[in-house]
Amino acid sequence: MTERDKKSVVHAEPTKDFFIRMITRDITLQDCIFDLLDNCLDGAGREIKLKQVNPQEEQRYLGYSAKIVLEPDRFEISDNCGGITLADAVDYAFHFGRRTDAPSDANHSIGLYGIGMKRAVFKIGKKINVESHADESFLVHIDVDEWAKDPKNWDFELEELPRREDHGTTIRITTLNEGIADEFRQAVFKNSLIKNIARDYSFFLQKGFAVAIGDQRVQPFQFGLRESQLFKPIKIQYQDETGVDVEILAGLAGSPPDDTSPEVKLADVEYWGWFVLCNDRVVIAGDKTDRTVWGEGAFQRWHPQYNGFMGIVSFRSTHPAKLPWVTTKRDIDQTSPLYRRAVAKMKDATRAYLDYTNERKEDLEKAKNLEQAASLKPLRQIALSEKMGLPSFTAGPKIKRVTISYQQPIEKVVKSKHAFGNSAMSNKAIGEATFAYYFKNEVEE
């Protein structure tokens, strides 16, 4: 071995290129925007704590807001959530990786790893301005290409600005990365962003936090479960041994479909299944996979027949690190014992509903009427209940049934649906309707 070989060292330092290219790959553009929105909310949380005001929980975020601008040449997010203090900027916000001694200073903070902001802005574009007004005011300008040229120096230059009364942060990004401008141009991207903010930040928006995309204010999605004399959602609360507070709700939220064949368009499908929340933030939405209960172990897999079911499991803690989420905050660490314990309870909460979707077929018309009559109730107003209340349908006298199956030209079928006054009716339904019509007119005395 030569002298030189002995001296060689393994360079384990991450390169900037790695950071810029690789880490930004693991996250979608929408999740990046959510990361930045999380920072706004954390800021608001800090401010509320700092000001030592104790707002009512229902209006906790009243007066705090974030505005997002998506233009083909520019991204901007600005808030009035307290700004970044100079110390935080130096130690955390512009430092790579959150320091382990970083205080968890916002109650029920959702930000976690100190990586979100940098990853998000690098994903979006190359010229970045972060302007912050807290007790001190400063501007950080990052020219990503310039910054990447110097392999050793990881620092960003910080320019002090005159202080300002209104505290808040504005991040402005220009020279957008390839593909980003195209996304911003898409009405679909914007629409789905608004829809998902409405859903994933629903509980913050309901507590007064205001989010606008351009000049459009996002209205919170109203989570609710149907409740009546006969329908009673499950609602249980417990403290896990880790100290994390857990709440589980489940029940009927929509209308179960009669016909689940592939050609049928089902409404609101993205809202059925399980939702997982950590500190009020939706981490998994409308899940129909084994990330929650479906097909997990011996449990039934999701079937379209279950549409209309909604389950919500909510984890809350003042120590966000205890919550069962991963760095992107868009997925759950499925191996977390805390989460496993909750899943066992979620399965219990789901079972009764699955049986109901079969039982209701005994008297479909009655079931549909009862379901429609049960009104949606906001989660907060739902009373604690260990068991799900569901109507039961005593099977009438057993009538032996047969299945009739036949094929017809699609044009004729479409015309018949029109004639029945519902062009969207399913093929199964038109089959039944035509038989019933024949029977009534030709057979029944």
Residues that bind another protein (CB under 8 A): 182-183, 185-188, 191-192, 194-195, 198, 216, 218-219, 255, 257-259, 264-267, 368, 372, 410-411, 421-426, 429
Residue 354: in which H helix or E strand, if any?
A: helix 337-359
- Least spacing, CB of residue 391 vs another protein, in Å: 18
The residues near 45 (Cβ < 8 Å, ≥ 6 apart) are: 106, 107, 108, 109
Note whether 57 and 203 are within 8 A (CB).
no
Looking from the CA of 23 toward its CB, the CA atoms found within 13 Å total: 20
Indicate the residue among 11 and 265 with the shorter CB distance to another protein.
265
Q: In what order do the strands lie in the sheet with 216-217?
A: 158-161, 137-143, 125-133, 168-176, 74-79, 65-71, 210-213, 216-217
Least Cα distance to 171 among 55, 33, 46 occurs for 33
CA dihedral 439→441→443→445, nearest 10 degrees, is 130
Indicate the residue among 59 and 423 with the shorter CB distance to another protein.
423
User: What is each CA distance from 296 to 169, 235, 274, 291, 358, in whole angstroms?
Assistant: 43, 22, 13, 8, 21
- Least spacing, CB of residue 433 vs another protein, in Å: 9
- Least spacing, CB of residue 372 vs another protein, in Å: 8
- Least spacing, CB of residue 76 vs another protein, in Å: 20
Cα 357 from Cα 365, distance rounded (Å): 13
Note whether 140 and 48 are within 8 A (CB).
no
Indicate the residue among 21 and 217 with the shorter CB distance to another protein.
217
Indicate the residue among 36 and 180 with the shorter CB distance to another protein.
180
- Least spacing, CB of residue 219 vs another protein, in Å: 7
- Least spacing, CB of residue 275 vs another protein, in Å: 19
Indicate the residue among 111 and 431 with the shorter CB distance to another protein.
431
- Least spacing, CB of residue 185 vs another protein, in Å: 7
Cα 312 from Cα 399, distance rounded (Å): 39
- Least spacing, CB of residue 375 vs another protein, in Å: 16
**DSSP letter at 153?**
-
- Least spacing, CB of residue 213 vs another protein, in Å: 9
Note whether 312 and 297 are within 8 A (CB).
no
Indicate the residue among 42 and 183 with the shorter CB distance to another protein.
183
Indicate the residue among 109 and 202 with the shorter CB distance to another protein.
202
Cα 40 from Cα 45, distance rounded (Å): 9
Indicate the residue among 5 and 178 with the shorter CB distance to another protein.
178
Note whether 225 and 252 are within 8 A (CB).
yes
Indicate the residue among 151 and 214 with the shorter CB distance to another protein.
214
**Distance in angstroms between the alpha carbons of the first and the last residue of the chain:** 104
Cα 9 from Cα 31, distance rounded (Å): 37
